[in-house]
Chain A
């Protein structure tokens, strides 16, 4: 993916020079290995600060919400699906956007890499499908496909679904992959086992709300956990309140989640929060044949009714 950046910069410069956009939203090089920071460029002389590699996992659709400018936005497959969702939900107008599509081969899971080594990881570089990890006294080459974020390993929409410019040719989509192995394992558990599983899963939560805030879907002017008149949810480390937050956050994403993985990537304590949303994604696929953000002209299943909708739950 390293070769992409020249083309991304070229397109960004052109869009800015031609006055087609007021800003381009992309990534600049981070100050830590495996981290890039979302940023904007307003002046075409600064496009050289834009970067693109396998550390651009943050979903840039999150930076479009309610903006008024004409924006050029760099979008990999999942970002583009969230842009579609934003357009469907009237959070941004299509004609305000120039989408620079970037076919994606997956983002590196930095937690997976740091967990492999006892010593601090100081430098990570990539070339083709090989990722080289260096630290004090060690150097190791890893295969990129072994260290992807879970959602990237299970991704079947690597190509942007909606774009105005394409940085590089489309890539081949992954086929015949088991996308919901984790979820099937949890589905097979007894209610008690499931309860315990989710208790353990969210036990480290510190309620920083990074999962919610990294998510482009979470744009309510006041989130239910922040509502103070009346207050719906307690503020302490009470486990019922923490559970309530996680369960409701997931349900608010039902039929809308694109499985971009930004929530899981953002969590500072490493909670696999996708375990909640993936189940809802799987249900939407099983029940409605629906994947969020793929079709720009179709309403999501949870805000439409069709006579053929499954109704087995009505007894």
Chain B
């Protein structure tokens, strides 16, 4: 943990499992994996279906709609990189397609988040290569 790292927000480094996913976000799409064999829909990305073990996975863009399954508003940042952002709401979002994902709220007061609140995807380009999927109130 070098000092220069502590104030910079960590960015994902895409790998063989996830390159397509992060490329999709750059192009404004949140890709979910649909299993052709057992119809499981999964988030996060990998080579095989976590339900049936099959490798016939198809990337399909999510509608981007979901609702808040749970949430927690961060008041004490996990490190210097996030200190300026507090308070911010971490959301556990249940996507319309079924899978849950974790992200943060953008565009409105974190104190106004409620359970089952309808949210939609917001694309946050944080570097040339990386666009993070965030959510705003629908």
A, B bound: no
* B residues apposed to A, CB below 8 Å: none
